[in-house]
Structure formats: structure tokens, C-alpha cells
Homo-oligomer: A and B are copies of this chain.
Amino acid sequence: METLLAKYGRITPLRPEEETSFRGLAMTRRECPTGTLLVAGDFDEPDQLFVVESGRLFASSELSNGERAITRLYFAGDIVGTANIPFEIATQSITVHRDAVIYLFPRQRLIDAFRYTPRVAAIFYTFAALENAILNDRLVSIGRTRGKARLAGLILEIAARLNLTRPQFEREFVLGLTQSQIGDAIGLTEVQVNRLIRSFYEERLVRRSGETIKILDLQRLREMSHFHDRYDDLDLNWFKDDFQAN
């Protein structure tokens, strides 16, 4: 829970009783190896959320023709599975794609949060709204830009998310996605992704050594991609002073 609290605390410090409530919500800790399918879309009942302590997950949907789309990447501090909550059957799959530690968060506990700790509930709402804004950005990127811009945006998104829990911005990091997964995330085939990555190397935008890649030209990646870091833009002052303690 530390990562989550650190993240939320950075934005709007929790009161002691809220922090207690928060810790009480996520009960079961679980270590999940790469490849674990936490929720099978169109099949499982979505009876819980997941809080990411460490590692990485992604949400994806499958079409009947076998095509897959990765709609969102999740990192330490994220709450995963919001889009499944109000349905009988999960609308999307949740997969661990880098060894992760997560906390299970039963749907019923969410109700407790709404009843007893409204400020915590407001934070949940806020992060659902944040997720909304990020999905909007992804729609704009995929719907209105070409492959190069999308790939640049994905690289910056991953860099931004990893750096959220680091003391200073680090240009070197593990991408952690196969080219096929990258394709699913930005709406291209793996073949095209490979060609684009290759062109990024040639243009000296990024460099690769083993699993890690290093951003060489941050400026130009930003210009290419139109990427916004919504986590950075977050502003929770609007409900900071308005709640009385319970």
C-alpha cells in the first residue's frame, strides 16, 4: 500500500483516519508472476479492484476475430479495474506483464469507503476521472496521429509513469513490452512497430541496450507525440478544504 499512499499523499495528504480506512480496504496481498491473467474479459465476474504495489499490468480487450487491443498500462500506485466494476461480466482483461505485487480490493469494500470515508471515496472518483482523461488522450493519439507520433507518445508515457515514483527524471528504463504488445497498445501491427523502432534508432531518438532503452532526444519525442502527463497535471485542491473530518 505504500506506493498508493505515497502517490495519493503527494496530491492531497490523507488524514490519519482516512489512511487507516485506506489500508483497511485492500486486504489480500498477492505476488503475481509475469503472464498472470487476473481478470478474463467477457468471462469473469469483476468482484474486485487491484492496487499495484510494484510491477506492471495492462488492460486489454479481444475482438471476436482474434485481434487484441491494450487500452491501458498500469504501474506502481495505480488502481486497476475501474472499467469492470459496474458490470456483471468484466469488459476487459487484466494481465500482469512484469512481475507484480498487488493488493486485492473487494468490490464490497468500495461501498464501505463511500459510506464511512467520503473523502477517500472522492479520491476514488477523482482517479476514475483521471483514467477517463488518459483514455481520451489515447483516443486522440490513435485516432488522429500516425505511427511515429503514437510510438513516441507510448515511450514518453511509460517514462513518465516510471519516473512518478523516482526522485528525479530518468531517461533510461525498461520498456517491458514485446513489439507485438506495443502494436496492440498503439494500434499497429508488430511488423510496423519494428520498422518504426528501427527508424527511431536511426534518427537517434532512442537507444537500446538489452532490455533497457534510453531517451536521447526528449525534446523531439515531445514535439512528435503531443503527449500530456495527466498525473502531473492533477489538481485536487478543489476538495482539499471542504471536507470536515469524520
Contact = CB atoms under 8 A, between A and B. Distances in A.
Contacts of A20: none
Contacts of A137: 61, 91
Interface stretch (A97-105, A164-172, A208-216, A233-241): A233-241
A92 interface: yes
A21 interface: no
A172 to B, nearest CB: 28
A239 to B, nearest CB: 5
Interface residues of A, number: 64
Interface in A116-134: 118-119, 121-122, 124-133
A68 interface: yes
A111 B122 contact: yes
A86 B128 CA distance: 10
A23 to B, nearest CB: 20
A38 interface: no
Contacts of A143: 69, 142, 184, 186-187
Contacts of A242: 108, 111
A184 B187 CA distance: 17
Contacts of A163: none
